[in-house]
Structure 1
């Protein structure tokens, strides 16, 4: 059996499992990833999976099979009910969402082999539902890639234009990121933070597009298309690094946020600041510990990595994930109890997808826009 790309079908569950392995997830989650399409696409039954791998894995595989049939881009009432089913499955066991997100990520990576109407439907569903869910779970890397792949399919002209402008900018400023990394690293080392790591990168097309839309700016008006992260070992060193950097360079007013003292709901922690830094470039900085970095990148999955600085056992990792997920689970369960489709969708977009604006098209399709946008921006 072949996928639309021409690859053997078994390559898909292998890739899904590989994505979750990179996130250091437990053996049971990896097993579910490998088996997630067996009931749908083979002669295997739930009973056989239970006998071979245990009832819990069988339950998760069956849950993912049911989710596969959901259409989250449909009429308003149907969309509400399908989204409710998705959220209930997630509330039952977080691993359903982790495998579903990895499954969606690999499908998005190979989306180009599908016919256009199906490609657009899947990309819209990913942008509206799965990318925000990944963000709500604190899985920044996953969310960013899902958004970029969706944007590439939904608005290919804008994607290509911004990508080309970013490429031109990178050529004009060849070596700039490396030079800033080096200057920041040397400055921090001179002041006792020899362990600090500085990483810089140019922002991605969708991130740039979102800022252009929300701020009503042209590409040329953007002043901060580079972002830098400073990573240290201990929390006090974050504030030491902040003081060193603020003493050396001019701070841009109104751009400071301390998510270390006040973490986001998804456990995200970092200090955010913007400076007019080396080469008089306006750059955004995130300062965090290495542990905070893993949680920022992998979200709830990162709770498998740490227990007071040491690796955790699979059982303890599951308990820590469950604890970290408690707030979102409560939100999901309360959302899923509603009866009215319109109220359900309204509450869901407010509670789960807080950093996006949602509006309905005349045909009842739910569209995600950046925070600060209005329906006029979509029109």
Structure 2
């Protein structure tokens, strides 16, 4: 009888532990965006929290005659909407100047501009990563001064940092991949490539003093990491949080992990594949980057292509580009319980 009681007690404790482990640490809120910002043609690719603003980076696809811009949502109005005091969101738009000139320089070097993918700030200096078409050898880093008075970001034409694309062993590049994840920390920058599952070395780039044009960015080894990395935010003490996303389409088959890999169970649904998204925690220590899972998004949010991440009040803002069931830009806030 005593053994039976102990067994029942053990089962109850185990069930409670499993229930606690499975309990989502966040409550998810969908923000109602102004029509201009919700427009899918913005194709947002990055977020950054600056003072009392949440900055939204448009991909700024100049080849499609898109406007080069960054939107800024007022944090106080975001708080009001989250607390249901008001739905209205105050915002303004920063025009990115000189991007057309940067694009012309890339094109003249046969490095074809595709769009802006990463955004981070150090003080009032904005840093952007530029993605190029797949055959291009380099992606690029540019910077510009953010001016609140004129609502402009003027790119410095003397600051253009080539970022060599990691390649497969046959020398070919990963289709449609760039340095999507960028963050500033301690006056430095850390830039993470979208694909980090090479059988050979995987690496990020570190720029120790962001304000100065580096001769060669520092290579930082990255522990082999499946799926795509689409944005990155600094959390303090050399720790970061990133979006780790998998798209089930055939065009992204390079991101599929092989049979027998423990990550494959996350992206397979029978014999087919399914979209998958989680947040992961990264640690930069002893000149290398390691990672671990943090939080898996609920099923209803897996089909959005999440491209932007910003940490706020113990939680996170997430934004997609244009792909997902809403058919437009969707901004979430993951509120810590």
Structure with a larger share of its residues in helix: 1
Quick check: which has more Rg, 1 or 2?
1
Structure with a larger share of its residues in strand: 2
The two structures share one fold, judged by TM-score above 0.5: no
**When the two structures are superposed, what TM-score results if normalisation uses the length of structure 1?**
0.27
**When the two structures are superposed, what TM-score results if normalisation uses the length of structure 2?**
0.29
